[in-house]
Amino acid sequence: MDRDLALGMFRKMVQIRKFEEKLYFLFSTRAMPGSMHQYNGEEAVAVGVCAHLANDDYITSTHRGHGHCIAKGAGIRAVMAEMFAKTTGCCKGMGGSMHIADFGVGMLGANGIVAAGVPIAAGAGLTCQVRGKGQVSVAFFGDGATNEGAFHEAVNLAAAWRLPVLFACENNVYGFSTHYRRTMALEDIADRAAGYGIPGAKVDGQDIRAVHAAAGEAVRRARAGGGPTLLEFKTYRYMGHSRFEPSSYRTKAEVEEWKRRDPIALFRAVLRGELGASESEVAGIEAGVEAEMEDAVRFAEGSPDPAPDDWKRYIFAGEGS
């Protein structure tokens, strides 16, 4: 793996982790609006996939969307300000955590409805195919989403039309509180690909090199007109389902077991070892990201609140905005 690429991906993973840690601190220590669903532990998936995407490629995301947004290149200040419901937020305070989006970088939105982004990603893939310029679209979704009708309909449609779409399943073991083995008779969601006549593979979602390699092959195939791929990334969320949810359905030992293969720690070791990055180089990245988060919080805190009737500007295009 190219050293600069690796350092860039490492930086993005650290950005996501520190963003989530900062957010947890903020929610714990002050009144923050709304709720949140955190991505800690799954960073390798978003970053390893998005490393293959340009600004004019598209992604759709889930209720757990901060990581996808940052990985696709959204500005940290605007993402943080949206958490504070400020006018400088990337959705101007209209969406919050669950609807975080940045169309300037092809991030078509987190989504509060499970699997709803999957057909929308297929539609973005349709645009890519009609334009014929080699763009691709990626749908991120969880294990739970694969039991929704919208997932099935969208993957089948994309397969039938050979749309340039990567269906990126983040199997983080639990749909809210329920283990995936309690809701499906398959061990590997990747096996569902055969049912649609498209390639599928399971991938170690904690190893960003494995994610990067598998996603690269799928994205190349899509750009070349070879149609969609279903990849299942085996991963894990460290935090509760949502803000302060206590995770009573799983053991501390299980969480600790997964943390032993922390995607950032694993990749840090690769950087320090095989790729020959110095400790000061890696630590410098971490310190730089820490400072970036402090800056983003200051920016958000100092930003204006929306006016109580700002909602009138956004219901219809061409009216009031």
Q: Which of 5, 54, 113, 283 binds other proteins (CB under 8 A)?
A: 113
Q: What is the DSSP string of 148-203?
A: SHHHHHHHHHHHHHT-SEEEEEEE-SEETTEEGGGT-S-S-GGGHHHHHTS-EEEE
Least gap, CB of 127 to other proteins (angstroms): 4
Least gap, CB of 112 to other proteins (angstroms): 8
Least gap, CB of 225 to other proteins (angstroms): 13
How many helical (H) and strand (E) elements, i.e. helices and strands, does the chain have? 11, 7
Among the listed residues 240, 274, 212, 229, the one whose alpha carbon sits nearest the alpha carbon of residue 13: 212
Under rule CB under 8 A, residue 92 binds other proteins: yes
Q: Which of 51, 79, 90, 138 binds other proteins (CB under 8 A)?
A: 90
Among the listed residues 239, 306, 301, 242, the one whose alpha carbon sits nearest the alpha carbon of residue 98: 242
In sequence order, the 6+-apart residues with CB closer than 8 A to the CB of 264 are 10, 13, 14, 17, 43, 44
Under rule CB under 8 A, residue 55 binds other proteins: no
Q: Which of 6, 51, 80, 101 binds other proteins (CB under 8 A)?
A: 101
Under rule CB under 8 A, residue 126 binds other proteins: yes
| Segment lying near other proteins (by CB under 8 A), choices 245-253, 275-283, 289-297, 310-318 | 310-318
CA distance 257 to 114: 27
Least gap, CB of 130 to other proteins (angstroms): 6
Residues forming beta bridges with residue 41, ordered by sequence position? none
Give the footprint of other proteins on this chain (CB under 8 A).
58, 60, 89-95, 99, 101-104, 108-109, 111-113, 116, 118-131, 137, 149-150, 153-154, 156-157, 160-161, 311, 313-318, 321
